[in-house]
Structure 1
Amino acid sequence: MNTEQSINKYRQVVENKYQIYNSLFMNLPYDKMTNIGSLIPFLYNQSAEGFPKGKTPTEIVETFFQKHTEIKDENEQIDLLFRFIQYIERQVVLFDSIEDAAFSSLFSYTDEGTIESLYQLAKQQNKLEEVKQKLADFAIRIVFTAHPTQFYPNNVLRIIQDLRSAVQHDSVSNVDLLLQQLGKTPFLNEEKPTPYDEAMSVIYYLRNVYYDAVGELASQINSTFFDHGENVENPFIQLGFWPGGDRDGNPFVTAEITRKVADELRSAILKSYYGHLKEVRRRLTFKEISEPLKILHKKIYDEMFTNEGNVSDEDILNTLNEVRKTLIQRHNGIFLDILDNLIQRVKIFGLHFASLDIRQNANIHDRIIRDIVQKEFKLNFDELSEEEQIKILTEKELNIDENDYEDELTKDTILNVKQLRTIQKLNGKRGVHRYIISDSETIFDVLNVYALFKFCGYKDDEIDYDIVPLFETIQGLDMAENTMDILYNLPVYKKHLSRRKNNQTIMLGFSDGTKDGGYLKANWEIYHTKETLTKVSERNGMKVIFFDGRGGPPARGGGKTRQFYASQGNTIANNRIELTIQGQTITSMYGAKMQAKYNFEQLLTAGIQSTVSEDPKASLNPEEREILDELANVSLQKYANLKAHEKFIPYLENRSTLNYYGKTNIGSRPSKRNSDSGLKFSDLRAIPFVGSWSQLKQNVPGYFGVGSALKKYKDEGKIDNLKILFEESSFFKTLILNSMMSMQKTYFPLTFYIENDKEYGEFWKILYDEFLLTEELLLEISGYNSLMEKEPINKSSILQREKIVLPLLAIQQYALEKIQNDSPKKEAYERMVTRSLFGNINASRNSA
């Protein structure tokens, strides 16, 4: 579809349907919400007209009350604003459901990046055999995290799923009933979820979405590229899991939680197999087949509840493969495709469903190792030479008892490392096989974890785990090449990697990289780091696998995921695609089977595309690299100056929602590190940091510094170089388009009034000037007339969502202004700010 066709289609299947169902929504009999739907448009009009004129939120909201209500009492006004918030939250859910239901009408199975389009291209290029070979070894791994960017409680998620289905079937009566249920269902968690609660939320999607989505996609790939019975053994779609294993900054993730979550993952996949096998048995009722299937069915049923390890994935596959032979030999292979479908899923999901990753901060390991060395060897680790430290960390073997230690974190860490053996025994080796070290910078960050295993009773050849450094700060990225080169040449670690088939997984963190160095610098630094790590790994005979810690919005590494991977040229290892999917991205992009399949295959084909045809735009020549180097450095300096501004932290504390993220019951993890200390930039977590800019509709981390960097080139008369770079470099174009997305979700008129603020006016103007400069130059180098000009569907979605939440943003700014002015009802307005976070985030889909 061309741009105009896409816009018309979106209007028909999304916007028009929303208007119809929203009119139904407005007339439903909600408790205390009568006439709310008819009042909100008036607040919208006041906001849409007032903010661009520089009116304050107080002027806008008070004018609304004066013109359109008879409410004079402040308590009653506050009550009405809370009801507005509740109503708009539900409008967002309705819009989400309608947009999701329209997915198949907006996207086609023949689109670029689908399996079908890849097959046709491979066939045209006579590259089908090459694709088969790539599929035999290539994989994508989607790792689900519990990072708190999702504000819907589980019962609301269930309603959303049902509402989506009702809209798809145009069932007005069901939509009516579900909207009534939505109106009466609380959107708030009464208490913060535990890590176990978070895990169970994601396990819901594993069972109800990904078991079928991944299984069906795998079957589609096999039937498209391989002859019958030629199915590859490689599970080219894999799932990872962080809830219950991610300890970084979360004191509530304990060894007990990790074990409980591992058990739940095993139980969940057994339940999926049990249900699937029931369907298989309905067809395979033949002699010499029905009995072994019945016995297997009973074994799985018993194991679901006992979890004693009496069934392994190998046991299940052996039985199914024997049945398969009999089916072919004696029954002409009837219903073979049904049986193969189950076999394929057992190969993919094993008894683990999703691999549970363990993650902890390097500084914590550092502290624990010093504790152990002091106690066990009576040595002060810091007084040892580097050579002596390495010797202790790689050669000493112990089997320490966690009960000998007083520090609870040390005790729990030891217990957890020990119990990983048990988890592997029950869930299989894929059940837990990676230990990720966040904030990695030196070889000791990796060796500390290696030592932890050896101190907990593991022999060298029993450390059946990938030790994964996570480089995320600019300093860590700069040091990554040297760190890995030393590790690769360390005899003990080299032998460890040999046992891991010379595979080294390295994680790169976009969120903290962007927070630390700004948008352009972080993205270019990660790209460059991948290149250097590819070289150093190849030089040492190692196969490097990059694992990207990507968030939802461009400011945290998100955005156009397929284009991001397709834009990485042959200077970056392409052995796998691994990335984190978190919070709201799970529900918005992977929350239904159709969307999940589409986005899984978009990633898979991005990694295989180069096998079929090399994209000349995916490589960078020396001149292009020089431009990117200069742009990144200029951008970094501009961003560094902003961070150093005396009003940077005070502005976030007093003019944004930063302080309110911790008051929402959306995640188990504290909203900042060192929660007992005062607010420091280094303690800020990326999600509330980026999210606060998003709530202000300023989205600073997604563009700040970009305009200044581009302006330097324009001032030097080299703007044409940037225009050529935009057309010739897929990487640069993706960076620019992602930044455009951030800017499209920006609405500075919301805070025009701050320009006149004595304390923050000057700082606000720095932000606004950079926005205007960046917008002007992005349009100039792209040749576009407006932001996101070539993405009509996504742009239409953003514009409609922004329209829905503008009254909500006005209420939030109004409450912040009241707090700033020390209102006697400050506590009520603080609750209002916290409540308004929910709808704003959910409506923006991946903006935070």
Structure 2
Amino acid sequence: MTESRIETEQDAIRPLRDDIRFLGGVLGDTIRDHEGPEVFDLIERVRIEAFRVRREEVGRSAVAQILEGVDIAVALPLIRAFSYFVLLANLAEDIQRDRRRAAHEAAGEPPQSSSLAATYRKLDAAALDGAAVADLLADALVSPVITAHPTETRRRTVFDVQTAITELMRRRQRYTETERERAAAESQIRRQVLALWRTALIRLQRLRIQDEIAVGLRYYELTLFDVMPAINAEVRAALRSRWPGVELLPRPILRPGSWIGGDRDGNPYVTAEVVRQAAGQAAGVAFGRYLGELEGLEKSLSQSSRLVPVTSRVAELAAAGYPDPATHADEPYRRALHAIRVRLSATAGRALGAIAVDRAAGVSLDTLPGAVTGQQTDAAAVYPTPQSILDDLDAIDASMRAGGDGLLADDRLAALRHAVETFGFHLQGLDMRQNSEVHEQVVAELLAWAGVHQDYPSLSEHERVELLSAELRTRRPLLGPHARLGELAAKELGIVRAARDVVDTLGPEAVPNYIISMCTSVSDMLEAALLLKEGGLLDPGEPDGPPICAVGIVPLFETIEDLGAGAATLAAALEVPVYRDLVAAADMRQEVMLGYSDSNKDGGYLAANWALYRAELDLVEVVRKTGIRLRLFHGRGGTVGRGGGRSYDAILAQPAGAVRGSLRLTEQGEVIAAKYAEPGAAHRNLESLIAGTLESTLLDVEGLGSEAEPSYELMDELAARARAAYARLVHETPGFVEYFRQSTPVAEVGDLNIGSRPASRKPTSSVSDLRAIPWVMSWSQARVMLPGWYGTGTALEEWIGGDEARLATLSDLYRRWPFFRTVLSNLAQVMAKSDLDIAARYAELVEDETLRDNIFGMIRDEHARTIRMHAAITGNDHLLADNPSLAESIHNRFPYLEPLNQMQVELLRRLRAGEDSELVKRGILLTMNGLATALRNSG
């Protein structure tokens, strides 16, 4: 690297390091002032030694020796200090990314990959036919779905203070020439850091589902209300300008979803009341936003009829505006907007009254900003659908443009119109989810109560399908009003009936899907359909008509075996007449969900990724044969071990035909805040989802051509070898579960108050029953990161076998095939965050020395092997050669991780030796919080 190039890179990162140095200094001053010199001096001593460890001037024991035996009363502020150092470093990095992006744009450089501007250039170069584009985007949808089991460890208060510091740091950056203003910003930053230091990092109680609902909804006010509609409008305009003769994207492409309050798989706290609260609070947020905007428009659109003509439709609206015709008599837009606001208030009152029956949820008309509570309107005037209020808003828009006020219409009114179109009255689609085993138990009880069959579980698959098909064709309900059911069946049926109430009130988009976890058969799909029928969401139809279901029935294929059989299961379901009729009634649309977490835990990183790709190839073939319109729902988590990584790259890595203008994907854990807490970040992440979807749909991005089948066969072999290597460790090595439990904080993860869901599906110590979040999070805390790489090195080394030609084949695939390149890139990212020297300290917690040496030896050998194979295939001399920003991030933050990991090991040792104090437990949870914040994709 030339000297000038080095100077340029140093200049680029200097502002970041200056920000980190400044924020670290402010935090240090705060600690010295409020914890005293003794605590501050210890923290400084540990910090200096941690940086010496990174520079390899001293060994790992230098930090461990300082922390050994440290008093817990001193250890707690030390842990908090390094946790906040990391949090502030995250903040500085986010600001640096914005700074670099602005510099990139100011320099007039080409738009960066994953931006819509770059995608439009690619589409223009491809010279696509408009009719073909319209066909491929006929069902266009990009839906990020916030899930119900977050690993977001920050409290709301901490989150809010961090947001305030971010804005103050940006203000400080702008005040480079005005010392007084810069000093004022820095003074405010010091106040916020003090507030941060005085705020407890962890909650005393576990999050309730009601808390999770509120956490999920906060992102709408922060960013999504403004960003999503704006992107929808921009993408529609951009595509229609390129193909003006085609009506592209008649519906907004971006439409959000949520699992929070509807996902009850393994979560006993989801009830019918929770479903109503989740839907009611979401609707309340939407109505509140619209009413507030209408109130603002009513104040600002003061055009006088003496100066501006209006259309007859606006005149009609204005006539109904106020009870007193003299009020704003010559201001028709104000009067018309007031009439709309009155009608929308009545609509909100009726909807919220019908759904949110529990007033403890805090959703009622008088809690909504901009609501009109004193003026009555006829019940018939309630808006029946979002389109009906859009019609009125569109009439105002048309009148303003006709009168020459288009500039005004393009502002707040346009934003409101786009928001209503995007979010409707429901705000977000609330998915329902339950495990297939539960469906079987409930259906068996319903059939037995109704006298249809007393022992449903004893039936064969063929007999089950025949029985369920017949029940789905009949209009007779299984239950009467006085049916007596067991607790599980009553609860499940109550939840489905609550979902029906939501659909009846807010429309079918309010509950768009019913997802079947661990779906393995056609009967699993039909059991869910029968439950929907009994709950009132599936109508068998007239004797000569098709059945109609208000929600989509979505099989979720999770394990590697189920992914392999998923296409066959779907094809078999489509051969069942009643199910085929349901799909036909839904315009031949069928959604399928693919599970990343359990497949990875089941078979390891490489095998799971290839099983997902193969499943998609097989599903695309089902589409070709049956004519259905497939939509894939990707159950991705925040970490590489659960499907994480850059979403844009992941979308481009899908096989040809798998996207076709439409996809949904889960957003989970701390990555939700990283992506959607700030408008700039939200805009970048959402546009990257659309950019990837458009490119994967309209362009040939796979790049394999005629070599596709041989490449697939090669991956079949690699995946089989990787799975075998993974199984030898995780499933076949005696004592592995014991090693995992002792060498990681998995037992303590369940005590971290980060979500309402239990850590395991059922009481067991089996890896298969452990949820993916604690599985991945525990390996991350111990800095092994095992789910994101183990088995891959062995597979690659065995297949290459020293053959240079085979190595060249893999190197060629890495260059040409987005799937293979993404797999290796994500593996490199997670391995760069691993640290086996730290992991060795965790391994020392294992009591059986032979077991420890055996298993950790296997892990260490595979780690080295995988790094070696990555370098040989990619030609990169280090893991992050293609990701310098992450390399810089690791360089900046990892000295702060050293004390957190070392302190966690120390406290785990004390706890397990019998020091069962609340302060020790709290210290462990604090270290987990700090490490999760630092690693940014902990679970």
TM-score (norm. length: structure 2): 0.84
- Aligned twin of 1:20: 22
Contact 2:446 2:478 in 1 (8 A): no
Q: Offset of 1:567 from its aligned partner? A: 2.2
Match of 1:103 among 80, 85, 97: 97
In structure 2, the partner of 1:263 is: 280
* Aligned pair partner of 1:627 in 690, 697, 714: 714
Give the deviation of 1:13 after TM superposition: 3.3
SS in 2 for 1:641: helix
**2:660 and 2:696 in contact (8 A); partners too:** no
Q: Indicate if the aligned counterparts of 2:632 and 2:663 stay in contact, CA closer than 8 A.
A: yes
| Cα distance, 1:450–1:755 mapped onto 2, change above 3 Å | closer
Question: Within 5 A, what are the aligned runs for 1:458-477?
Answer: 458-460=538-540, 461-477=547-563
Report the counterpart of residue 840 of structure 1 in structure 2: 931
| Matches for 1:575-586 after TM superposition, within 5 Å | 575-586=661-672
Q: Which amino acid aligns with 1:631?
A: L
Hey, what does 1:552 align to over in structure 2? 638
Q: Deviations over 1:748-771 (max 9, x none)?
A: 111335677444122111101100
Q: 1:383 offset after TM fit, Å?
A: 3.4
Aligned to 1:198: 212
Distance, in Å, in 2 between the alignment partners of 1:465 and 1:659 is 38
The match for 2:265 among 239, 243, 248 is 248
Match of 2:396 among 323, 331, 334: 323
Larger Rg: 2
Once residues 924 and 348 of structure 2 are traced to their aligned partners in structure 1, the CA distance between those partners, rounded to angstroms, is 44
Name the CA distance, whole Å, in 2 between partners of 1:617 and 1:785.
26
Q: For the residues of structure 1 that align with 2:659 and 2:222, how far apart are their CA atoms?
A: 34
Which residue of structure 2 lines up, in the alignment, with residue 88 of structure 1?
A: 82
Does the 8 A contact of 1:816 with 1:833 survive in 2? yes
SS of the residue corresponding to residue 204 of structure 2 reads: coil
CA 132–371 in structure 1, closer or farther in 2 if over 3 Å, else same: closer
Match of 1:414 in 2: 493
**Would the alpha carbon gap of residues 49 and 331 (structure 1) be closer, same or farther in structure 2, given more than 3 Å must change?**
closer
The match for 1:608 is: 694
Deviation at 1:831, TM superposition (A): 3.5
Asked if the contact 1:551–1:558 (Cα under 8 Å) also holds between the matched residues in 2, the reply is yes
Q: What's the counterpart of residue 540 of structure 1?
A: 626
Distance, in Å, in 2 between the alignment partners of 1:181 and 1:127 is 55
Of 324, 332, 340, which aligns to 1:296?
A: 340
1:429 is the counterpart of 2:508: yes
Aligned twin of 2:676: 590
- Equivalent residue, structure 2, for 1:173: 187
Code of the residue aligned with 2:74 in structure 1: it is: L
Alpha-carbon contact 1:255-1:412 (below 8 Å) kept: yes
In 2: Cα distance, 1:497 partner to 1:575 partner: 19
SS in 2 for 1:663: coil
CA contact (8 A) 1:10 1:796 kept: no
1:618–1:730 CA contact under 8 A, matched in 2: no
What does residue 778 of structure 1 align with? 870
After superposition, the Cα gap between the structure-2 partners of 1:646 and 1:616, relative to the gap in structure 1 and judged at 3 Å, is closer
2:417 pairs, out of 316, 322, 343, with 343
Q: Aligned pair 1:366/2:366, yes or no?
A: no
Indicate the percent of aligned positions where both proteins have the same amino acid: 25
Residue in structure 2 matched with residue 720 of structure 1 by the alignment: 808
CA contact (8 A) 1:359 1:437 kept: yes
CA-to-partner distance for each residue in 1:437-460, whole Å, 9 max, x for gaps?
Answer: 111111111111111122334422
How has the CA–CA distance of structure 1 residues 281 and 418 changed in structure 2, closer, same or farther, with 3 Å as cutoff? Answer: same
Query: CA 1:595/1:349 → structure 2, altered by over 3 Å: closer, same or farther?
Result: same
The answer (yes or no) to whether the contact 2:386–2:420 under 8 Å persists in 1 is yes
Pairing of 1:148-167 with structure 2 (within 5 A): 148-167=150-169
* Superposed CA offset, 1:352-401 (max 9, x none): 11100001111111111111112212521133344442233222241525
Structure 2 vs 1, CA of residues 176 and 712 (structure 1 numbering), >3 Å: closer, same or farther? Answer: same
Check conservation: 2:149, 2:668, Cα contact below 8 A.
yes
Give the aligned residue type for 1:773.
Answer: R
Aligned residue for 2:556, secondary structure, equals strand
CA positional deviation for 1:282: 4.3
Separation of aligned partners in 1, 2:338 and 2:462:
60
Query: How many Å separate the matches in 1 of 2:714 and 2:113?
Result: 30
- Using a 3 Å threshold, how does the CA distance of structure 1 residues 687 and 699 change in structure 2: closer, same or farther? same
Structure 1, 605-614 or 833-842: larger mean CA deviation: 605-614
Q: Call closer, same or farther: CA 1:401–1:548 in 2, change over 3 Å.
A: farther
Code of the aligned partner of 2:754: I
Aligned partners of 2:67 and 2:906 also within 8 Å = no
Aligned-partner SS, 2:71? helix
Taking a change above 3 Å as real, the CA distance of residues 10 and 422 of structure 1, as seen in their structure-2 partners, is farther
The yes-or-no answer on 1:527 pairing with 2:602 is: no
Shift of 1:124: 3.7
When structure 1 is superposed on structure 2, of 782-791 and 169-178 the one drifting more is 169-178
CA distance in 1, matches of 2:277, 2:285: 12
CA contact (8 A) 1:439 1:470 kept: yes
SS in 1 for 2:403: helix
Q: CA 1:162–1:641 in 2, change beyond 3 Å: closer, same or farther?
A: same
Looking at structure 1, the residues matched to 408 and 135 of structure 2 have their Cα atoms a distance apart, in angstroms, of 28
Amino acid of the structure 1 residue aligned with 2:115: T
Work out whether 1:496 is the aligned partner of 2:576: no
Q: Contact between 1:142 and 1:238, CA under 8 Å: does it hold in 2? A: yes
Could you report, residue by residue, the CA deviation over 1:455-475 in whole angstroms, capped at 9, with x for unpaired residues?
334422342110001000112
**Residue pair 2:640, 2:826 contacting (<8 A) in 1 also:** yes
Q: What SS is found at the alignment partner of 2:937?
A: coil
**TM-score normalised by the chain length of structure 1:** 0.93
Q: Find the partner of 1:355 among 416, 429, 438.
A: 429
Aligned to 1:505: 591
Distance 1:813 1:51 in 2: 19
Do 1:144 and 1:581's aligned partners in 2 also have CA atoms closer than 8 Å?
A: yes
CA contact (8 A) 1:402 1:411 kept: no
The aligned residue for residue 663 of structure 1 is 751
State the SS of the aligned residue for 2:205. coil
Contact between 1:26 and 1:35, CA under 8 Å: does it hold in 2?
no
Distance change (3 Å), C-alpha of 1:621 and 1:186 = same
Q: Compared with structure 1, are the counterparts of its residues 4 and 504 closer, same or farther at alpha carbon in structure 2 (3 Å cutoff)? A: farther
CA shift for structure 1 position 293: 0.8
Count, aligned residues: 836
Q: What one-letter code is carried by the residue in structure 2 that aligns with 1:425?
A: D
1:648 aligns with 2:736: yes
Map 1:755-770 onto structure 2 (within 5 A). 757-770=849-862
- What is the Cα deviation at residue 429 of structure 1? 1.6
Deviation for aligned residue 1:91: 1.7
1:732 aligns with 2:820: yes
Q: Secondary structure at the match of 1:289?
A: helix
Q: Which runs of 5+ in 1 are unaligned?
A: 67-73
Instruction: Give the partner amino acid of 2:127.
Output: N
Please give the secondary structure, in 2, of the residue aligned with 1:238: coil
Moved more, 122-131 or 171-180: 122-131
Cα distance, 1:271 vs. partner?
A: 1.1
Deviation at 1:142, TM superposition (A): 0.3
Q: CA deviation at 1:162?
A: 1.3
Contact 2:811 2:874 in 1 (8 A): yes
SS in 1 for 2:516: strand
Counterpart of 1:69? none
- Provide the secondary structure at the position in 2 that maps to 1:243: coil
Cα distance in 1 for partners of 2:795, 2:154 equals 39
Q: 1:380 is matched with which residue?
A: 455
Q: Is the 8 A contact 1:402 1:412 kept in 2?
A: no
Change (3 A) 1:225 1:335: farther
* CA–CA distance in structure 2, aligned partners of residues 84 and 459 of structure 1: 61
**2-structure distance, mates of 1:5, 1:146:** 46
CA contact (8 A) 2:436 2:517 kept: yes
1:753–1:98 distance in 2 versus 1, CA, 3 Å: closer
Contact in 2 for aligned 1:510/1:556 (Cα 8 Å): yes
Bigger shift: 392-401 or 33-42? Answer: 33-42
Q: Assess if the C-alpha contact under 8 Å between 2:606 and 2:719 holds in 1.
A: yes
